[in-house]
Amino acid sequence: MSGRIIALIVASFGVVVLALSTTGVLPADAMQQLFRGSLGSPRAISNTLRETTPLLIAGVAVFLALRAGLFNIGVEGQLVVGALSATAIVLSVPGPLGVVLGVVGASAAGAAWAYPAGWIRAWRGGHEVITTIMLNNIALFLTRALVAGPLKDPDDQAPTTAMVDATSRMPWLFQHDNLKVNVGLAFGLIAVAGLAFWLRRTVGGYELAAAGANPPAAQAAGVPIQRVQVRAMAMSGAIAGLAGAVQALAYEGRFYSGFSPGYGFDSLGVALLAGLSPWGLIPAALGFGILNQGSTALTLIGIPRGLTGVLLGLLIIVFAALRYREVKRG
């Protein structure tokens, strides 16, 4: 491992230790509290899994786009339009049928939200980082207007939809004592497996990865680059929309203004940490889930919430540096 990488790791370590030292908490105690808060009890584990689920699904979405050479920063927006769509559909069509329709609708909404960014990138060269971030903001305002207006719960002053009824929620896979695992998590695992299978075993997946890895070579190999890019963004958006549906129908039961606490950016981190294989998304999402959930517990012993954010940023840097070092060597 080159001296540069070692320097980076040492520096990152130093930053974290320095930050901790200002709080007066020993690293060992901090770690213990972190794990206690995230994995120390059935309730904690449930909450951690609840955090992990949307991160996992959204992580799949970002990973897919990344493989095609695209940065989908728009997961935030795709997720909320998906969530709102699912909620609205389920409110009109309750019950399991509604849930199925809601999932479909959410994916369609997410895909529609990502499509313009893909098109602009493929056919106009406009960088998708900017267009997806813009679309995020548009989504935010659009959904806000909708839940303050036509989709608002008439019985409630706040900008929120009505609660969907109990039959329209995504069921719990497992519910015992305080340990609850929702089927949404299963969706996430299936999405990971599906992506891994698709990338490895279909021509479409192969071509997408080729387009992302070496566009001129892919083009000479017959891959229609622009169409692949547009399709990749649309698929990524659809999966992000699915994440929104899960968040709405499994955990929240409604949609309100301020719905997403920033899953968009976190999912980019998840995808980057996952490495080369989609299976890496599982430990990455779980790691983020633990850090997010545990940060609440950390505040109880006087460690401000931001520390886990810093840690995540440093992790991304170190992992990215490691990855690019390998690329450069050959």
Partner 1 sequence: MTPPDYAVQMRGITQRFGAVVALDQVDLSVRPGAIHAVVGENGAGKTTLMRVLQGHLAGAGGTVALHGKPVQFARPEDALRHHVGMVSQHYSIIPDLTCLQNLILGDERAGWLRPSSAITRANALAAQMGFGFDWRAEARTLSPAGAQKLEILKLLWREAEIMILDEPTAMLSPADADALFASLHQLTVQGATVILVTHRIPEVMEHCQYVTVLRGGRLVADWPVSATNSTQLAEAIVGHALAPPLARAQTVGEPILAVDGLSVRGYRGDVAAQDVTFSVRAGELVGIAGVDGSGQRELIQALTGTRRPLAGTLRMGADNVTRATPAQRIWRGVRLIPEDRLQEGVIEDWSLVDNVALGLQRLKPIAQGPWLDRGAAATLAAQVVARFQTKHGGLSHPMRSLSGGNQQRLVAARALAIAPRLVLAFQPARGLDIDGAAQVYQALREAAQAGAGALVVSFDLDELLLYCDRILVMRDGRLYEPAVNEARDRAVIGRLMVGAEGSA
Partner 2 sequence: MAEFGWVLWLTTSLVLAAPVVLAAMGGLTSERSGIMNIALEGKMLTAACVTALVANATGSAVVGLAAGVTASLLLSLLLGLLAQAYRMDHIVAGMAINALALGGTRFLHQRFTDPDRAAEMAKLPIELYFGLALLAPFVVALVLVRTRGGLRLLAVGSDPEKSRQAGLRPAPIRYGALSATGLLCGLAGAMLVTNAGGFSDGMTAGKGFIALAAVVLGGWRPLPTLAACLAFGLIDGFQLQVQGSRLVGSGIPSEFWNALPYLATVLAMAFLGGRTRAPAGLGRP
Query: Of 8, 104, 162, 301, which one interacts with partner 2 (CB under 8 A)?
Result: 8
User: Which one, 150 or 222, has the nearer CB to partner 2?
Assistant: 150
Contact (Cβ atoms closer than 8 angstroms) between residue 82 and residue 245:
yes
Contact call for residue 269 and partner 2 (CB under 8 A): yes
| Alpha carbons 206 and 212: distance in angstroms, whole number | 10
Nearer to partner 2 by C-beta: 56 or 73?
Answer: 73
User: Which amino acid is it at 296?
Assistant: T
Q: Which residue lies nearer to partner 2 by CB, 179 or 321?
A: 321
The whole-angstrom distance between residue 300's C-alpha and the CA centroid of its chain comes to 27
Q: How far is the CB of 96 from partner 2 (least distance, A)?
A: 33
Establish if 213 lies at the interface with partner 2 (CB under 8 A). Answer: no
Per CB under 8 A, the list member of 190, 221, 300, 320 interacting with partner 1 is 221
Q: Residue 238: which residues within 8 A CB-CB, separation 6 or more?
A: 61, 107, 108, 110, 111, 114
269 touches, from partner 2, partner 1, none (C-beta below 5 to 8 Å by class) = partner 2
Three-state SS across 238-307? HHHHHHHHHHHHHHHCCCECCCCCCHHHHHHHHHHHHCCCHHHHHHHHHHHHHHHHHHHHHHHCCCCCHH
The partner in contact with residue 92, picked from partner 2, partner 1, none with C-beta cut-offs of 5 to 8 angstroms by kind, is none
CA–CA separation, 313 and 330 (whole Å)? 28
Binding flag, residue 64, partner 2 (CB under 8 A) = no
Task: Please give the torsion angle defined by the CA atoms of residues 78, 249, 53 and 116, in that order, rounded to the nearest 10 degrees.
Answer: -10
Q: Which range of residues in 37-45, 92-100, 107-115, 309-317 is near partner 2 by CB under 8 A?
A: 309-317
Judged by CB under 8 A, which stretch of 26-34, 40-48, 101-109, 305-313 contacts partner 2? 305-313
Quote the CA–CA distance of 219 and 211 in Å, as a whole number.
8
- Tell me if residue 185 falls in helix, strand or coil: helix
Q: How far is the CB of 228 from partner 1 (least distance, A)?
A: 11
The residues of the shown chain that bind partner 2, judged by CB under 8 A, are: 4, 8, 19, 22-23, 71, 73, 116, 119-120, 124-127, 129-131, 133-135, 137-138, 141-142, 144-145, 148-149, 265, 268-269, 272, 304-314, 316-317, 320-321, 324-325, 328
